[in-house]
Amino acid sequence: MQPRSVRSALAALALFGCVALAPGASARVDGASSYSKAQTYSGALRYVRVDMGYEVVEKDADAAYLIFKYAPPGASKGALVTGTLEVIEAAGGVRLFVSLPRMPEYYERVFRDGLLKKLREEYGAPPAAKKPAEKSPSDKPAPEKPPSSPDPSGD
């Protein structure tokens, strides 16, 4: 073999090795819901089943997750992708996570945005966030007086 073809073969082999060892992409898109966990989960179930017409493979209302078969636009009927949707209650509110493996992140974002739009249409404007009530100076209790000491004169 010529030196040039040996270098090309080695470069191709190195590139193949890097690609083979690279971890798979496991992207998932998250979003914030202004509605309760139960409202978000039930809206997500209706969105997946009714609006999108996807088959729900597994669901758990207590854990608030769905596993469904997603049909990418323009794909043949047999080219279904398994998607997941999770609804998690966090300190800052309700978070939802959409994962459509083997699909570009764009599909996950479109799916998430469609679900959030459905929630707004079904439930109306989100409830206003409750702010902790600030106490005004007049709301503070009066400082307690120390117990009076007995009269030193003994009267």
pLDDT > 90 in the chain, percent: 43
Kindly state whether residue 134 falls inside one of the protein's structural domains: no
Kindly state whether residue 144 falls inside one of the protein's structural domains: no
The pLDDT score that the predictor gives to residue 75 is: 74
Residues 6+ apart with CB under 8 A from 55: 68, 69
Kindly state whether residue 73 falls inside one of the protein's structural domains: yes
pLDDT band per the 50, 70, 90 thresholds, residue 144: low
pLDDT tens sequence across 52-91: 999 999 999 999 999 999 887 777 777 888 999 999 998 8
d(CA 132, CA 12): 62
Kindly state whether residue 21 falls inside one of the protein's structural domains: no
Q: Which two tokens stand for residue 87?
A: 């609804």
Residues 6+ apart with CB under 8 A from 108: 27, 28, 29, 98, 99, 100
pLDDT tens sequence across 113-139: 999 999 999 988 876 666 555 555 555
Q: Which two tokens stand for residue 139?
A: 């709301």
Domain that holds residue 45: 27-80+87-123
The pLDDT score that the predictor gives to residue 103 is: 86
Q: For residue 37, is pLDDT > 50?
A: yes
CATH code where residue 68 lies: 3.30.310
The pLDDT score that the predictor gives to residue 25 is: 45
CA triple 120-124-127, angle to 5 deg: 100
The pLDDT score that the predictor gives to residue 129 is: 63
Centre a 10 Å sphere on the Cβ of residue 48 and count the other Cβ atoms it contains.
Answer: 23
d(CA 56, CA 61): 13
- pTM for the whole thing? 0.64
The pLDDT score that the predictor gives to residue 72 is: 78
Our count of domains for the chain comes to 1
Helices 37-46 and 105-123: angle between axes, nearest 10 degrees = 110
Q: For residue 21, is pLDDT > 70?
A: no
The pLDDT score that the predictor gives to residue 31 is: 92
pLDDT band per the 50, 70, 90 thresholds, residue 151: low
Kindly state whether residue 147 falls inside one of the protein's structural domains: no
CA triple 61-67-73, angle to 5 deg: 135
